[in-house]
Structure 1
Amino acid sequence: MDTNLLREVLARWASGVVVVATMTDSGRRHGMTASSFSAVALDPPLISICLTTTSTTQRLIEQSDIFTVSILGHDHEPIGRRFAGMDKSGTTGRFGQERWDTAQTGAPVLADAVGWLDCRVAARHEAGDHTIILGTVQAAATPRSAEPLIYHARTFCKLRNAMMQGVIQ
């Protein structure tokens, strides 16, 4: 399979944008922007994230066995860019000036996220150059209602007029 073609085809799939974060035993917070996130089951409450096996975030989650998923709203594009490593200004660090709360597991969650999930690792599955991590949801919240931030064709997008049309409430 031509990886460039595969990458081009997969870029056609629109997805929501999240920040996956963890906290190490030494108190170090770390996170990254991700679009490979999915609900798996309600009973037991399971979600999945797919992370590059060699990523720092994957390695730190493997060590801590905890992670959070903060679902970004349309106005969180700067956060999405920063956690994706696209903001090279280096003035605020990844966790920036936004308010980050500490979830039940000790991992950070974005205080004004559209929603967040606090998880303990339930299982890991190697899948090519990625690791599929299943998380058992320990706590969840919907701090505010807002249109989602979308990732499509290698760029951040906004879901236009969905709230006005009654699709998102």
Structure 2
Amino acid sequence: MDPILLREVLAQWASGVVVVATVTDAGRRHGMTASSFSAVALDPPLISVCLTTTSTTHRLIERSEIFTVSILSHEHEPIGRRFAGGKPAAVDHFGPERWDAAKTGAPVLADAAGWLDCRVAARHEAGDHTIVLGEVLAAGVPRRTAPLIYHARAFRELRDAARGTVP
């Protein structure tokens, strides 16, 4: 399979944008932007995220066994960009926004569209990524708002065009 063609085809799939974050025993917070997030099951409550095996986030979640998922709203594009790849791991990506500690201690964005606090339930190696299943320990919907979408390698907003309102 031609990897360039595959990337082009997969870029046509619109998805929501999340920040996957964790914290180490030493209190070091780290996170990354992801669009490979999915609900898996309600009973038991499971979600999945796909992490590049060479990423700092992957390594720290492997060590801590905990992570959070903060679902970004349409106004969180700067946060999505800040947590995107290509920046040194030593840089604090958490910025000026309020980040609360979830039940596990991992950070969640206080004004996220929604958040999930998870413990690693399983890992599945999948090529250059690991599919991480998280058992949801706590969750919240701080506010109802339109999501941030990633499509064709760009951030987009999803709006109800017929009514001009948030769905």
Length-normalised TM-score, structure 1: 0.93
Structure 2 residue 38 is matched with structure 1 residue 34: no
Unaligned runs of 5+ in 2: none
Q: Which residue of 2 is the match for residue 9 of structure 1? A: 9
Deviations 1:15-44 (A, max 9, x none): 000000000011000000000000000000
Q: Which residue of 1 is the match for residue 136 of structure 2? A: 137
What CA distance in whole angstroms lies between the structure 1 residues aligned with 2:49 and 2:83? Answer: 16
Deviations 1:38-83 (A, max 9, x none): 0000000000000101100001000000000000000000000000
Unaligned runs of 5+ in 1: none
Deviations 1:79-109 (A, max 9, x none): 0000004789x9x830000000000001000
* Residue 160 of structure 1: how far off its partner (Å): 2.7
1:83-162 aligned at under 5 Å gives the runs 83-85=83-85, 93-161=92-160
Q: Kindly indicate whether the alpha-carbon contact (under 8 Å) linking 1:48 and 1:135 is maintained by their aligned counterparts in 2.
A: yes
Aligned with 2:69: secondary structure?
A: strand
Q: Kindly indicate whether the alpha-carbon contact (under 8 Å) linking 1:147 and 1:162 is maintained by their aligned counterparts in 2.
A: no
What percent identity do the matched residue pairs reach?
77
What CA distance in whole angstroms lies between the structure 2 residues aligned with 1:12 and 1:126? Answer: 25
Please identify, of 79-88 and 27-36, the stretch whose mean Cα deviation from structure 2 is larger.
79-88
Paired residues in the alignment total 166
* Residue 166 of structure 1: how far off its partner (Å): 6.7
Q: Which residue of 2 is the match for residue 60 of structure 1? A: 60
Cα root mean square deviation, aligned: 1.9
The residue type paired with residue 77 of structure 1 is E
The residue type paired with residue 54 of structure 2 is T
Length-normalised TM-score, structure 2: 0.94
